Amino acid sequence: MALTQKLILASGSPRRVELLAQAGIEPARLMPMDLDETPKRAEHPRSLAWRLCAEKARAAQAAIKGEPAWNDSYILAADTVVAVGRRILPKPDLVSEASSALHLLSGRSHRVYTGVCLITPDGKLRQKIVDTKVRFKRLSGADIESYLASGQWRGKAGAYGIQGIAGSFVVKLVGSYTNVVGLPLYETVNLLGGEGYNIHDSWLEG
């Protein structure tokens, strides 16, 4: 019975797929949800991550309603927000946005919030928020210009990916490293296992 369990990941993020694979979990389907991620007026970064992960999960749930073969699936969604104080940093597409974010992060601490949402086959919604504190070194002009040229900032919350070059910017990290990558593994696996998803099947295969 456990082998028939299906997991839909409401994301197209290669990083989240890789993190799940690290835990021996392979989604049966990827369903990126294209939603407006604009923060509401005075919305706290933690609240934004909480809201968006639930909206993505519900959007995926609505999308499969006409597909009976997927109705008994688990749906997993996540959203990562990077903030300095209450200031939410973008997931930039423009070099100017990325440059502003990196200058803001330089030499100071920031927080990374990831909201994780799971909808079970019987329609229960479960959520978790994980908060990690990260401190960057003081970035030189050459650091910023070269990192911008690398393109590794593009589309990433806070204009950086810790699993790439920007990992060398981190002076200190308090909390979950995988949270900063984009999916807190400990909390996600516990959430799935707590709701009856058999996380050990693929472990037995080697």
Residues carrying an active site annotation: 79
Selection from 187, 29, 35, 39 nearest residue 114 by Cα = 187
Interatomic CA distance for residues 103 and 183, integer angstroms: 25
CA dihedral 142, 146, 149, 151 (to 10 degrees): -130
Using a 10 angstrom Cβ sphere, with 0-12 exposed, 13-18 middle and 19 or more buried, the burial of residue 194 is exposed
Task: Write the DSSP symbol of residue 23.
Answer: T
